[in-house]
Amino acid sequence: MVQFFTSVFLSIIALTLSQTAFSQTSGFPNRPVRVIVGYPAGAGNDLIARAVSQRLTEIWKQPVIVENRAGASGSIGADYVARSPADGYTLLVTGSSHLIQAAVSKKIPYKAVDDFTPVSTVGSGQLIVEVHPSLPVKNISELIALAKTKRLAYGSAGTGTSPHIAGEMFSRAVGVDMTHVPYKGSAPAQSDLIGGQVNLMFQVTQSALPSVKANQVRAIAVTGKARLLDLPQVPTVAESGLPSYSLEIWWGFLAPNGVNKDILKALNDGVRQAVAHPEVQKQLMAAGLQVGSSSAEDMLKLMRADYEGFVKLVREAGIKEDD
């Protein structure tokens, strides 16, 4: 008899726990979701986050709120998400720079891959090599020639970001020294390029395009393997005489490490559905992205492979945190 009641009691507990777990995941989300961006409003990550989050609000019937926690090349926002509960209600929109910075910096308090759960990519892209109109160069060959006669200054969104790495890759590829000027995000860096405080930038497409189209800066090349549809007249760096030079980047959603599989599926389904929406695709393409979502598993593979590659690049190029 005792065994019977013990068995019944344990069965009730198990059923209660399973019902609780089901209630926590089956109705996800049942309250607002926050999307953290580690850069200022108007930066590339911010534009992407807002485009997708607006659609997620409609899909999930819950507010999806974008929150900017800028600073330290995105690591302040990333650290906040890494330390957040793994319940799916706090997400990070980031990209390749998240891994690059981890490869460069020994100070970040989290592991760029292991402390996060990949949700889905939203797209990929490349950078635009842009110069201030006063700089007497119209192509990569002229930029190289000028850089060999005077020390140029290039801006970036911060140490350990993709614009920083692109600039260092270029300097080493052509054998010149340029001064790196890090900013707290793409927007202030772009503003100073327009104002002439720096000579050039290797800028993420979505941050550079408006200035290029307004003739505030001059685009002389792109860093990817193919020309941009928005700038078909602008050649790739490889076409311009550096065939081994190529840098392409991605963006996506991350959650804290430990999100359970049911919530992760709901997150992945939501992001992929949002990215597939024509209006979201239009906004992302206007920002210079090649739109494309992924499974969580494929994003994890991408992150691991990219991180290994960036660590190797940083070590071989001798890039340091204070460069």
CB atoms within 10 A of CB 136: 10
Distance of alpha carbon 323 from alpha carbon 318, whole angstroms: 10
CATH T-level fold of 126-222: D-Maltodextrin-Binding Protein; domain 2 (3.40.190)
Whole-Å CA distances, 120 to 52, 207, 264: 12, 22, 10
Cα maximum dimension of the chain: 93
pLDDT reported for residue 323: 55
pLDDT reported for residue 8: 41
**Opening angle at CA 266, ends 265 and 272, nearest 5:** 85
Looking at the chain, which residues constitute the CATH 3.40.190.10 domain(s)? 126-222
pLDDT reported for residue 70: 92
pLDDT reported for residue 10: 43
User: Could you check whether the bond before residue 210 is cis, i.e. omega within 30 degrees of 0?
Assistant: no
pLDDT reported for residue 18: 39
**Opening angle at CA 68, ends 293 and 110, nearest 5:** 75
pLDDT reported for residue 25: 52
Looking at the chain, which residues constitute the CATH 3.40.190.150 domain(s)? 28-124+249-317
User: Helix and strand tally (H, E) in the chain?
Assistant: 11, 10
User: With the C-alpha atoms ordered 98, 101, 106, 109, is the resulting torsion angle positive or negative?
Assistant: negative
| CATH of segment(s) 28-124+249-317 | 3.40.190.150
* pLDDT tens digits for range 156-181: 988 778 898 999 889 989 999 999 99
Which residue stretches of the chain have pLDDT < 70? 1-26, 322-323
Burial class (CB in 10 A: 0-12, 13-18, 19+), 172: middle
